[in-house]
Amino acid sequence: MLFAVVKVLHAVPWWVGGVVVVIGAVSVQPRAVVVGLLLLLGARAGMALEDLAPATTRPLDRALVVLVSDPRANNGGWGAQGEIDGERVFLNVRVGVHPALGDAAVGDELVISGTLRGSVPESAWAISRRIVGNATVATVHEVRSADGVLGTANALRAAYADGVRHFDTGDRALFTGLVFGDDRNQDPIDADNFRSAGLGHLLAVSGQNVAFVLIIFAPALRRVRWVPARVACSLAVLVGFGFLTRFEASVTRALVMAGLALVAHAVGRRSEAAVILPPAVALLFVLDPLLGWSLAFQLSVAATVGMVVLAGRLARLMPGPDWLRSVVGATLGAQLFVAPLLLGTFGRLSVVAVPANVLAGPAAAGVMMWGLVVGPIAAIVPGPLAEVMHAPSWLLVRWVALVADTFASVGVGHFSAVHLTIGSIGLAAVLLGGERSGTLRSFPPALGTMLVVVAVGIPLLVPRPLPAGVHQLSTNVVVARSIEGFDVVVLGAGADLDDALEGIRAARLGRIDVLISESGSRRSGVMVHVLAERFEVAAIWAPPGHSVPGAEAREPLSGEIGSLQIRSVEGAVVIGER
């Protein structure tokens, strides 16, 4: 409901909400007061949207930028969010512009030269991040490290990473992602495996991580006898963890809920998640009404609601030991509530997400808890001792990676909106059937079970094959399948590696007969190299003078594969049937 308020009612003038609040207060109608407050919340979101005016387009000459996100690989260079004169912009930096940029972090200051182009944020991500411009950085003159709390958090994150310096690059990135949400150096293939298996959320810190932090510090906190002091210390731990994890949307929701629960418990009020969640979300919307546009925040809230509403009921329906039923119930409840958001955003939903999460979730929790405890110590002890200390971390990271890789390679289909609807109706019949009596008691659960089996079984056992024809897999990524079954993939100049990996995998191409790169740039070469490593590629075509490893130079990019005719028209590849 609150999401609808901030996203739908943001055009309502603030005074309308104020009038409704006054009328409700005068007439002693609490519901009217609540409606008025919701209208005021929507109006606040509208005012926040109006404040997102484009930054002034201008050249930048030794301008000061404060990083508000960690730089990460982006289109053959580095990308990051930064503030210039109080305006938040996205920075595009070429690789090699400054050697220290890859190690820069939130709060660091850059002195840059380049060009700033103002823009109105259109995507939900840009709105939630308040991005009002794009800066093309030609030169980074200086990188100044952050100080104060941010500097301390950056040093601690670096210490955790240094403690697993003996891990290979991929395992080190998985470790930092599981412990405090830093996945910026993750291998693209590993990232694709996690997305395919429905495990991507494990690399984003969430509510369970916050709970584990409180468990870790519980022995020390219990020694503080005075309740107000203990609550204050607990809140300090939560805030410190927030700085460590960059106060990402999902972890901020969990931190606020945990903080409200601590205060409520201390004053003798109810502190269950079902009671704490609504005021926590409302408080966050008051502080930042544009959180309603953040997909990470929406998924976090939806998953929490799913666990609160369904986890216990689902666990009671399942056989097996209590711990297994609890894990499966919580996982399935969260997945059901986030499914509409994932389908609406990505158009598909992993069939194997629940079993993959049941197998990988406990290990991921183990990495987080053990890594938080021994991480800073391992950074300062000799290498052999650090290896011994982090042996459990390595084994658990390897297990999580194995689960992701195994389930990503399963050749099954994906849930569609139809499958989700059928399964949801069936599950509702199962849940409600237990409340009936007489002959109706067994019929709805039986019917519901059948619907659930059908909804899961169709995409699991009968994946829909890609038909012959030309298909747009993602932006600037196209696959053409001939009637004989030959597959030709074309990467446009602006193709994104993550989107290409996900699109090709979702299409279940067992083999790419020809991979065509319209651009011969170094960035395209990196993309083709990763795709060739991820999939079986028989041949690679690229334009003359290319930087694409293993590619055959063709001028023009044309030829015939089975019944497919490939032509180059004004630099773009066009494919049709002969």
pLDDT tens for each residue of 496-527: 888 898 888 888 887 899 999 988 888 888 88
> For residue 280, which amino acid is it?
A
Residues 363 and 484 in one domain: no
Residues 475 and 537 in one domain: yes
Cα–Cα separations (whole angstroms), residue 234 to 177, 214, 239, 289, 299: 24, 7, 9, 27, 26
User: Nearest Cα to 203, choosing from 232, 245, 264, 167?
Assistant: 245
List phi, psi (to 5°) of 213.
-60, -45
pLDDT of 74 strictly over 80: no
Contacts of 128 (CB under 8 A, 6+ apart): 249, 290, 291, 292, 293, 294, 295, 297
pLDDT of 333 strictly over 60: yes
Cβ-contact 490, 575 below 8 angstroms: yes
Cβ-contact 530, 497 below 8 angstroms: yes
Task: Examine residue 153 and state whether it is found in any structural domain, yes or no.
Answer: no
pLDDT of 458 strictly over 90: no
Encode pLDDT of 413-428 as tens digits: 677 777 778 777 777 7
pLDDT of 553 strictly over 50: yes
pLDDT of 292 strictly over 50: yes
Residues 308 and 395 in one domain: yes
Cβ-contact 317, 405 below 8 angstroms: no
Residues 62 and 46 in one domain: no
At 31 the pLDDT is: 74
Encode pLDDT of 444-454 as tens digits: 666 767 777 77
At 437 the pLDDT is: 46
Task: Examine residue 159 and state whether it is found in any structural domain, yes or no.
Answer: no
Task: Examine residue 167 and state whether it is found in any structural domain, yes or no.
Answer: no
Of the chain, the percentage scoring pLDDT greater than 90 comes to 29
Residues 25 and 110: their CA atoms lie apart, in Å, by 51
Residues 325 and 237 in one domain: yes
User: Nearest Cα to 138, choosing from 96, 90, 80, 85?
Assistant: 96
Task: Examine residue 174 and state whether it is found in any structural domain, yes or no.
Answer: no
Task: Examine residue 164 and state whether it is found in any structural domain, yes or no.
Answer: no
Cβ-contact 446, 432 below 8 angstroms: no
Between 169 and 23, the higher pLDDT residue: 169
Residues 278 and 274: their CA atoms lie apart, in Å, by 8
List phi, psi (to 5°) of 92.
-115, 115
- Select, from the ranges 135-144, 244-253, 283-292, the one with the highest average predicted confidence (pLDDT): 135-144
Return the number of other C-beta atoms located less than 10 Å from residue 379's C-beta: 18
Residues 259 and 136 in one domain: no
pLDDT of 254 strictly over 80: yes
Cβ-contact 553, 546 below 8 angstroms: yes
Task: Examine residue 98 and state whether it is found in any structural domain, yes or no.
Answer: yes
> Per-residue confidence at 122, pLDDT binned at 50, 70, 90?
confident
Residues 233 and 231: their CA atoms lie apart, in Å, by 5
Contacts of 235 (CB under 8 A, 6+ apart): 259, 262
Residues 344 and 230 in one domain: yes
Residues 426 and 511 in one domain: no
At 461 the pLDDT is: 65
At 331 the pLDDT is: 86
Q: CA angle, corner 402, sides to 396 and 406, nearest 5?
A: 150
β-strand pairing of 72-74 with 469-474: unpaired
Task: Examine residue 573 and state whether it is found in any structural domain, yes or no.
Answer: yes
Residues 448 and 484 in one domain: no
Residues 139 and 255 in one domain: no
Tell me which residue range forms the domain holding 34: 2-50
At 172 the pLDDT is: 93
Contacts of 64 (CB under 8 A, 6+ apart): 84, 109, 110, 111
At 29 the pLDDT is: 72
Say which CATH number the domain at 85 has. Answer: 2.40.50.140
Q: What is the mean pLDDT of the chain?
A: 84
Whole-model pTM?
A: 0.85
Residues 298 and 212 in one domain: yes
> Per-residue confidence at 344, pLDDT binned at 50, 70, 90?
confident
Of the chain, the percentage scoring pLDDT greater than 70 comes to 90
- Select, from the ranges 7-16, 64-73, 100-109, the one with the highest average predicted confidence (pLDDT): 64-73
Contacts of 31 (CB under 8 A, 6+ apart): 24
Of 104, 124, 146, which closes a domain? 146
Encode pLDDT of 212-222 as tens digits: 888 888 888 88
Domains held by the chain: number: 5
The distance of Cα 193 from the centroid of its chain, to the nearest Å, equals 14
DSSP string, 329-366: HHHHHHHHHHHHHHHHHHS-EETTHHHHHHHHHHHHHH
Residues 134 and 253 in one domain: no
Q: At what angle do helices 391-408 and 353-378 cross, to 10 degrees?
A: 160
At 440 the pLDDT is: 44
Task: Examine residue 408 and state whether it is found in any structural domain, yes or no.
Answer: no
